[in-house]
Structure 1
Amino acid sequence: MRGNVVDLAVAVVIGAAFTNIVNSVVKGFINPVLGAIGSTNLDHYSLCLSDRCVKNSSGEVTDGLYFLWGSVLSATITFLITATVVYFLMILPMNRYKERQAAKAPVEATPAEVTEIELLAEIRDLLAAQRDGTARDRLPAQKHRP
């Protein structure tokens, strides 16, 4: 139990630190690249959904309905970068590690499953031997069934 709690605490701390790195990359690198077609701050991109939209001098909406699609785009980019890094740097290597460990583990000796055809053939032979009255030891050796 303690190991799981410690692992979870470490994951939360690393996740919080990693979020700051991703936010810095998005704001310092991705946004300026996307801003080449307009503003470097994606938060300024918006769409007026009503007939009349008015903003005051500080940029706050005073009248109308704005859809701030730039903020949504910025958050989506941040999420995609975070998910990509987590997948390629954490999940994929862990899955490969588990596959290697499973390959190293000894294979359990499980008896081969008797197929339906083999079972029917065995029943046929037993019935034929019983009908003919022949000794049971003349039949082929029976396979071990689990």
Structure 2
Amino acid sequence: MIKGFKDFIMRGNVIDLAVAVVIGAAFTAVVNAIVASIINPLIELVWKADEATGAVGPTVIGIHGDPVTFPIGGLISAIISFLAVAIVVYLVFVYPMNRFKERAAAKAGVAEPEGEKLPTEQELLVQIRDLLQKQDTTPPTAR
């Protein structure tokens, strides 16, 4: 039982997953700090974020006659926060990393073929089947 557990832990994908979780947690802290210190103040120049949490939405009378209010301010704040995090991740991390990879590939002389589409797995299997059928010289009745 212990040997099986040791084998499980020592697999490359388990270690890779553990490293990804730790790096992801650290990455989350960096992204949240960028959003809190740069993006949120920019948003507050135009719109007060604390006003959204107190904002109320439509009020509807329920089945029992009690009014039910749908507070949409929190939802709006969450959507804005999500979009801010997504923009920061793309502009600060994804876009520069893609540019870096493109430049490194260009320096190495590895150019991505434009317009050249590689065949899919299914297309390759069809080609292999057709080649095997051409090579088969036995009559159909002998098979």
TM-score, length of structure 1 as denominator length: 0.49
CA distance in 2, matches of 1:106, 1:78: 41
* 8 Å Cα contact 2:31/2:88 also seen in 1: no
Shift of 1:29: 5.8
Residues 93 and 72 of structure 1, relative CA distance in 2, 3 Å threshold = same
Q: Check 1:50–1:25 CA distance in 2 against 1; reply closer, same or farther (3 A cut).
A: farther
Query: Is the contact made by 1:32 and 1:41 (CA closer than 8 Å) also made in structure 2?
Result: no
Q: Which residue among 19, 25, 47 is the counterpart of 2:32?
A: 19
Whether contact under 8 Å (1:50, 1:65) holds in the other structure is yes
Gap regions ≥5 residues in structure 1: 53-62, 109-146
Q: Give the gaps of 5 or more residues in structure 2.
A: 1-11, 112-143
Higher helix share: 2
Q: Percent identity?
A: 33
Q: How does 1:30-109 map to 2 (within 5 A)?
A: 30-31=43-44, 33-35=46-48, 40-51=50-61, 63-106=66-109
Q: Alpha-carbon deviation of 1:20?
A: 5.1
How far the C-alpha of 1:87 sits from its partner, in A, is 0.5
3-state secondary structure, aligned to 2:60:
coil
> Cα distance 1:28–1:96, how it changes in 2: closer, same or farther (>3 A)?
closer
Count of equivalent residues: 95
Residues 35 and 85, structure 2, Cα contact 8 Å, conserved in 1: yes
1:112-127 aligned at under 5 Å gives the runs none
Which of 1 and 2 has greater Rg? 1
Q: Aligned AA for 2:54?
A: H
Query: Is the 8 Å Cα contact of residues 35 and 88 (structure 2) preserved in structure 1?
Result: no
CA 1:69–1:107: 2 relative to 1, 3 Å: closer
Letter in 1 for 2:108: A
Look up the SS of the partner of 2:53 in the other structure.
Answer: helix
TM-fit CA distance, 1:23: 4.5
How far is the alpha carbon of 1:73 from its aligned partner? 1.1
- 1:107/1:42 CA distance change after superposition, 3 Å: closer
